[in-house]
Amino acid sequence: MQTQSVDLASLVAPWLDLSSSPYADKAVGELHLDSRQIKANDTFVAIPGHQVDGRSFIPKAIELGAAIVLSQASDAHPHGEIEVVEHCVIVHIAELNQHLSQLAGRKYTHQNNRLIGITGTNGKTTISQLIAQWLILAERKAAVMGTTGNGFLDDLKPAANTTGSAIEIQRTLAELDQQGAQYTALEVSSHGLIQGRVAALEFQVGVFTNLSRDHLDYHGTMQEYAGAKQRLFTTHRCHAAVINADDDVGKQWVREVDGAIAVSLGQHRDNNGVFATRVDYATSGITIEFDGFAGSGRLHVPLIGEFNASNVLLAFSTLLKLGVTKQVLLDTAAQLKPVLGRMELFSQPRKAKIVVDYAHTPDALEKALAALRVHCEGKLWVVVGCGGDRDKGKRPMMAASAEKLADHAIFADDNPRSENPAAIVSDMLAGVTNPEVITVEHDRFAAAQYAIEQASDKDIILLAGKGHEDYQVFANGNTHYSDRETAATLLGVTL
């Protein structure tokens, strides 16, 4: 890892002058927000969190060998106060939680790694991985950070959250820089923006995909949710903006963000942007004819669905802004691959096709079903559920989308978490017009198995909501489960 050799005075210099302190030269070890990760000579960063106050774990961190503790100042311990407990130096700093990104950046450096930030409700993972794939095809070394993991595409390390903590992000970027990454495409969540987890990062390009209902349990209103996303372009260092102008919020932001590149499937034709003049969909992929600031051309990519056409055009426009030549992108587009658990097609002769997709919002589910309808010669099935301990308002909305756009809907468990699965399905059934035609089968494998047994070889079955995930979360813990494995098992194909 490219860990900056830094002393205590240098690390905290922007907020506190310790140049004359007897501890100024004390070496700063690895930074950790979780006291359980502390090892000898590490540095514990203690801040109040949403559920627990990290400062209550200072004794534990010292017991595990912390040499330094940086603690958020309080009335009891004002800004600038220094304590020494069992050879551990404790420094109290005002509003420390707001400085984590910059603090970690002073410890973990990544000067050679150019960053692309992708925000929006849906499409972040697909776009980030398409960008990385395309850069690799253009002979650049590229990595990703997000929902499906962090690292290079052939060696992704699992990630607990779409956007990790400010310290985790800086440390991971430093590791990737050390491993030769020239570019990293980061999924930037609304939580990550609001909580300042990427505050000190410099983005060469920021990408906005779309905005639809999600995370209202956290943000409260769609306006607050949109405002969180917009921060990538307004309060962060973002040198260029690539925005989906087919989205209502994106169309507004194109006018508000200086120099924004408007990207459209044809609704919004702007010669300073990139827009489709024709889009053709087939089971072999999508063909996009386009025009705009880089001139005209024709892309063929082996992905399915209208929203993937938008994802491809957003990735394409981003790479143009990064300086990759149009011809290189056109020449390599056909080599792009579908992203794990994102409109991923499984097929076997004389059996229904199964598509696995991460769609877990009303808008994403509608788009996935609408995209598959174009390809479906028979009946369209969907197996879908909703997460527990999350926004309950989207449950009837997702159910309504399933009833309206699929020929057969099966409601199954997603990640119930601490909630009763039957209560979640009850909330979903409240959104449908004819609940008697909905099949309820809580066990996801059994639900998919029922669909494949009932479906004809011309039918398509969408397993929605889990995507790349290989687990389910119940009140009593996690259990192994994968829609991708289910699809492979039921069709007798190899993953």
Q: Residues annotated as binding site? A: 33, 35, 50-52, 120-126, 161-163, 189, 195, 197, 390, 414-417, 465, 469
Classify each residue of 363-395 as buried b or exposed e, where b means 16 or more C-beta atoms within 10 Å of its C-beta. bbbbbbbebbeebbeebbbbbbbbbbebbbebb
Instruction: List the 353-357 sheet strands across, edge first.
Output: 344-346, 353-357, 460-464, 380-384, 408-411, 439-440
Query: Does residue 70 sit in helix, strand or coil?
Result: strand
Binding-site annotation: residue ranges for meso-2,6-diaminopimelate: 390, 414-417, 465, 469
Q: What are phi and psi of 157, to 5 degrees?
A: -95, 135
User: Cβ of 2: how many Cβ atoms within 10 Å?
Assistant: 17
Instruction: List the 43-46 sheet strands across, edge first.
Output: 31-32, 43-46, 68-72, 88-93, 82-85
**How far apart (Å, rounded) are the C-alpha atoms in residues 378 and 488?**
21
Q: What is the DSSP letter of 156?
A: P
Read off the tokens for 93.
């700093």
**How far apart (Å, rounded) are the C-alpha atoms in residues 414 and 402?**
15
Distance between first and last Cα of the chain? 33
Binding-site annotation: residue ranges for ATP: 120-126
Cα distances (Å, whole numbers) of residue 49 to 57, 98, 140:
12, 12, 39
User: Cβ of 323: how many Cβ atoms within 10 Å?
Assistant: 9
Determine the longest span between alpha carbons in the chain, in angstroms: 78
Query: Does residue 222 sit in helix, strand or coil?
Result: helix
